[in-house]
Each structure stands twice: as C-alpha cells, then as structure tokens.
C-alpha cells in the first residue's frame, strides 16, 4: 500500500566459464526509499527537534467577525515560555493527536480518516457486484484508440472542482474508479494518480472563488475576493495547460514503452490488484442490474459534489452518503446480509493504511503548534519582506508562503494564520493586497501537489500504490514549469 521501493540492481556477468566471478560483478546494490509512514515520522521528529531550537512565541489574537475565527494581530508578536516537545513522546502521540485533540476531544483528522474507510467499503461493494468491471469494459470499447483524451477531460472536471470549492479530500473517492480504467487502457497508476491529484491540485492552485482559500484569504486581508480574479484565471489556465501537456506526454511514453513507466516493476502486481489480473475487460456482461448500480454510483458522486459546494456538507455527511449508497447497491446486487457486511469491511480494510497516514500527516502540524513555534516562523517571515521593492517583495512573499505551506498544508488554516500579518505589508511595497492573496494560494496549491504533510497527497499515492520517491521524480520538471508561470504572473501583476 504505497510501499516506496527503488531498487538498483547491477547484473553480474562472467567473462569465461572458468573464471571466478568478482565481488563487483555479483554484488546487488539495493536502495530502499522509506515508506510514507517513515517519512512522516521523520518529519515529526524533525519538527519536535525544532521546538528545542526555535524560540517560542505568539501573536495576540482577536475575533474576526467575517471569518468567525480568531486571527493574529500585526505588531503584537512576543516571546513566551518555551514548550519543547520530547522526541519519543511526540513521535508516539502525534498520530493520535493528529486524529483528534486528546485534551478537548475536538476532531482534527479522524473525520477524514473515517470518510476514507467509508469510501473503501463503498468501492468494495460496488466492485463485488461486477458493475465497475462491466462499466470499464463498455468504456474501453467506446474509447478504443482515443483513451488519451480522457486526460484533459477529467483534469478539466477536477480543476473546476478545485477552483470553485477547493476539491481535496473528496477527490480520494475517485481513485478507485479511474485507476483501473487507465491501467486497462494501457497506461499506468502514475498517469491515473496525476489526472486526479494534478487536476484538483491545479484548480486549487489557481483558485478563483474557492471559499476555503481565496475567499477566506481575501476576508483576512480585508479585500473583496473578486479583486485579482483575472490574474488567478490566467494562472489557472496556464497551469492547467502545462499539467495536461505534461501528463499526456508521460502517458503516451508509457503506452508506447511500458518499461518507461515509473512503476514498471509493479506493472503485473498493479494489474492483479486493480483488475484482478485480467488481460482485458471485454468479456464482462453489462446487464441491466449493473447499469442501475453504476447509475447509483454516479448519482452518489454527484450528490457529494452538490453537498460540499452548495449544502455545507463535510466529512460526516459524505461518509453517511457513501455508507447509505453501499447498502443500497448491496441490496440491488443481491449480495445477501453476510456477504454485504464482509465485502464492505474488506473494502474498508484495503484503505486502512490510507486512513492511518492521514492522522500521522496531521501530527506534524500538531507538534509544531504544541511547541509554540508556528507564530515565530510567521514573525520571521514578516521581518524578511519589510523593505523590498514591489517585484522582489511579491516573489519573496511567494517563497515564504511556500515554506509555511509545508508546515501548515491547510489552505484555510494558513490563510487565517498568515494573511492578517502579511497582507498589510503590501502597502509598504506599493503593491495591491490581492497579489499577496494570489501569492499565498499559488504557493499553498503548488506545495500541496507534493507535500508529505498533506493527507490528500499521501492518501492518493497510497491508494494508487505509487511510492513517494517516484511521485517526486515524476513531479520535479513540472514543478519548475509551474514555478516559472506563477512567478512571471506575480511579477507582471506587481509592475
């Protein structure tokens, strides 16, 4: 489940039948990249160590009526008594505190983890009925030779979700549907993961009316969220085009030569895992019952999107939706009570590792907050941009938000934390506050395409069985392209 393993093997050769084989010829050199859990635990230890080095400090907070939350007050930073986190205790308690606050019992990530388990059970039930396999079979027939065009179409849909309502955790529900389709079409898991993660991610990076990023940040900066919208549209369109071209180029390369895939060594294993080892899906009958099940399947996702974007739903309501749909589909599929329950539990069990990763990822932020170094990092950022000219100011602001995003992956959390402090500094550099908002959301969106502390990244990679090291290799050139697009747009906007 997301096991990250990169093995370099040096093949041994023998010059003649009687010569002994040298150590260099027979040696196999193995490099094992750590798993996602190990990476996250390492980050927890690193952040805990920082609490012993970085001075503890706090800003005074005041209630912002528009946001309904307390926000830091500029100019009020002061050092407080340090609370260094013990390395062993922090490492063991951080995943627990990442799920929920053990002192107040307030939910932190447990609702997301439960949502993931419900998705797993739901997909397990739908798969058991044979409806997904039958649907993929019909899709493959309809798209024969044109499967590549699924990439821009699906990435446009996900980008629309990202830019409009900040599609993130709910995107995890789509991996189980899209990955088998792309593998059956001759592509690989990286292609499918990129379609979803980059699609929703570039939409969030170029948020136009996203209430969890643009609107909250604009309110915290005390400006209308419509200010700067056209610059964000430019970043969204150019970023989406760059991502689509990049993913399509990789997909064509993999289909032409499967050995070029970043997960080539897992090709047969992934085919077994996602397709049950089938060479094709053409033999599966698309019965009326399976059509009805797929219709309910599609309606479930449509209702989820409506609930999040229009009815104020969050993880609890979405979890209940998938649970109810699983029961309904199980009854239509005539699975029987025992088979339905066992199938649902098996599906949830498949995503248990993903659910646990979410808690561990959230634990990194918890340790930093408990060590009281979050505001200190924000204060240092405030000092770094004090006397810079406009173009330099907005680009340094972008990179500061990039750094802060690694520690605070939540777009709404980072907006509430940083915008009340950073936005007023724009006036000293003679730039508009909306540029600071755009720099914030672009930086946060960029980092959250690869951020190991962002549960959506680690969860999506775990579902797709793509190692984190391989994802970084895939993303490195694209990140450079996106950075150039963002910095160019911000610089032009500051002129």
Q: What is the pLDDT of residues 378-407, one digit of tens each?
A: 888 888 876 788 899 999 999 999 998 888
Pairing of strands 57-58, 78-79: antiparallel
- What's the pLDDT score for residue 142? 74
Question: Quick one: residue 69, left, alpha or beta (phi over 0 = left, psi -120 to 50 = alpha)?
Answer: beta
Could you tell me which of 166, 171, 161, 170 has the C-alpha nearest to residue 213?
166
Q: What is the pLDDT along the chain (495 residues), one digit of tens a residue?
A: 333 323 332 333 333 333 444 443 333 345 566 776 787 788 888 888 889 999 999 998 888 776 677 888 888 889 998 888 887 777 788 888 878 776 666 666 788 788 878 988 988 898 888 887 777 667 767 777 777 888 998 899 889 888 877 777 778 878 887 888 888 888 999 999 999 999 999 999 998 877 778 888 888 888 888 888 899 999 999 999 999 999 999 999 999 999 999 999 888 888 888 877 555 555 567 788 888 998 998 898 788 878 876 787 877 888 899 999 999 999 999 998 999 999 999 988 877 877 787 777 778 778 888 888 888 988 888 888 767 888 999 999 999 999 988 888 878 778 888 888 888 888 777 888 899 999 999 999 999 999 988 878 988 898 899 999 999 999 999 999 999 999 999 999 988
- What's the pLDDT score for residue 6? 35
- What's the pLDDT score for residue 102? 64
CA atoms within 13 A on the CB side of 411: 36
Residues contacting 97, CB < 8 A, separation 6+: 108, 363, 366, 370
Residue 78: in which H helix or E strand, if any?
strand 78-79
> Six-digit token pair at 455?
């549960």
Could you tell me which of 369, 407, 373 has the C-alpha nearest to residue 79?
373
> Six-digit token pair at 391?
């173009």
| Beta-bridge partners for 78 | 58
Q: Any idea where the domains of the chain sit in the sequence?
A: 108-494
Residues 242, 107: Cα–Cα separation, whole Å: 37
Could you tell me which of 414, 315, 393 has the C-alpha nearest to residue 117?
315
Residues 369, 357: Cα–Cα separation, whole Å: 19
Residues 126, 346: Cα–Cα separation, whole Å: 12
Could you tell me which of 243, 166, 153, 156 has the C-alpha nearest to residue 207?
166
| 491 three-state secondary structure | helix
Residues 150, 106: Cα–Cα separation, whole Å: 41
- What's the pLDDT score for residue 144? 74
- What's the pLDDT score for residue 91? 72
CA angle 166, 167, 172 (to 5 degrees): 150
Give whole-number Cα distances, 137 to 251, 286, 335, 481, in Å.
20, 8, 22, 36
Number of H helices, E strands in the chain: 21, 6
Residue 13: in which H helix or E strand, if any?
none
In which residue are the tokens 């929703």 written? 200
Residues 58, 81: Cα–Cα separation, whole Å: 10
- What's the pLDDT score for residue 280? 53
Radius of gyration of the chain, Cα coordinates, nearest whole angstrom: 24
- What's the pLDDT score for residue 20? 43
CB 165 within 8 A of CB 308: yes
> Six-digit token pair at 203?
């939409």
Question: Quick one: residue 317, left, alpha or beta (phi over 0 = left, psi -120 to 50 = alpha)?
Answer: alpha
- What's the pLDDT score for residue 387? 75
- What's the pLDDT score for residue 22? 41
């Amino acid at each position: 489940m997301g096991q990250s393993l990169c093995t370099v093997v040096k093949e041994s050769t023998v010059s003649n039948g009687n010569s002994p084989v040298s150590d260099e010829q027979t040696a196999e050199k193995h490099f094992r990249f750590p798993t996602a859990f190990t990476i996250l635990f390492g980050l927890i230890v690193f952040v805990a160590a920082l609490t012993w080095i970085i001075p503890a400090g706090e800003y005074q907070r005041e209630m912002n009526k528009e946001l309904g939350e307390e926000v830091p007050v500029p100019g009020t930073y002061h050092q407080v008594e340090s609370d260094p986190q013990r390395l062993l205790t922090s490492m063991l308690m951080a995943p627990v505190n990442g799920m929920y606050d053990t002192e107040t019992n307030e939910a932190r990530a447990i609702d997301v983890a439960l949502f993931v388990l419900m998705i797993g059970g739901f997909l397990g039930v739908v798969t058991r009925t044979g409806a997904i396999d039958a649907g993929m079979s019909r899709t493959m027939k309809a798209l024969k030779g044109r499967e590549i065009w699924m990439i821009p179409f699906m990435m446009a849909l996900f980008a629309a979700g990202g830019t409009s309502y900040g599609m993130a955790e709910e995107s995890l529900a789509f991996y189980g549907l899209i990955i088998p389709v792309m593998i059956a079409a001759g592509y690989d898991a990286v292609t499918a993961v990129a379609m979803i993660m980059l699609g929703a991610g570039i939409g969030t990076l170029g948020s136009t009316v996203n209430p969890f990023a643009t609107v909250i940040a604009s309110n915290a900066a005390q400006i209308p969220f419509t200010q700067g919208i056209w610059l964000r549209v430019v970043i969204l369109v150019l970023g989406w085009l760059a991502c689509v071209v990049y993913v399509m180029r990789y997909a064509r390369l993999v289909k032409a030569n499967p050995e070029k895939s970043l997960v080539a060594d897992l090709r047969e294993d992934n085919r077994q895992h996602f397709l049950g080892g089938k060479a094709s899906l053409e033999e599966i009958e698309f019965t009326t019952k399976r059509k009805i099940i797929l219709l309910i399947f599609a309606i479930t996702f449509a209702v989820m999107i409506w609930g999040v974007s229009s009815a104020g739903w969050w993880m609890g309501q979405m979890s209940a939706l998938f649970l109810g749909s699983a029961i309904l589909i199980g009854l239509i599929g005539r699975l029987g009570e025992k088979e339905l329950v066992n199938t649902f539990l098996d599906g949830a069990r498949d995503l248990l590792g993903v659910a646990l990763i979410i808690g561990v990822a959230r634990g990194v932020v918890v340790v930093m907050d408990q060590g009281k170094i979050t505001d200190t990092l924000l204060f240092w950022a405030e000092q770094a941009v004090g006397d810079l000219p406009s173009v330099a100011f907005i680009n340094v602001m972008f990179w500061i938000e990039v750094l802060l995003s690694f520690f605070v992956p939540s777009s709404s959390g980072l907006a509430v934390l940083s915008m009340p402090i950073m936005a007023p500094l724009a006036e000293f550099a003679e730039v508009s506050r909306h540029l600071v908002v755009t720099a914030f959301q672009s930086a946060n969106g960029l980092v959250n395409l690869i951020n190991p502390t962002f549960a959506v990244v680690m969860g999506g990679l775990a579902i797709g069985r793509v190692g984190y090291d391989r994802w970084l290799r895939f993303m490195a050139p694209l990140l450079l392209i996106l950075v150039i697009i963002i910095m160019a747009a911000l610089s032009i906007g500051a002129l």
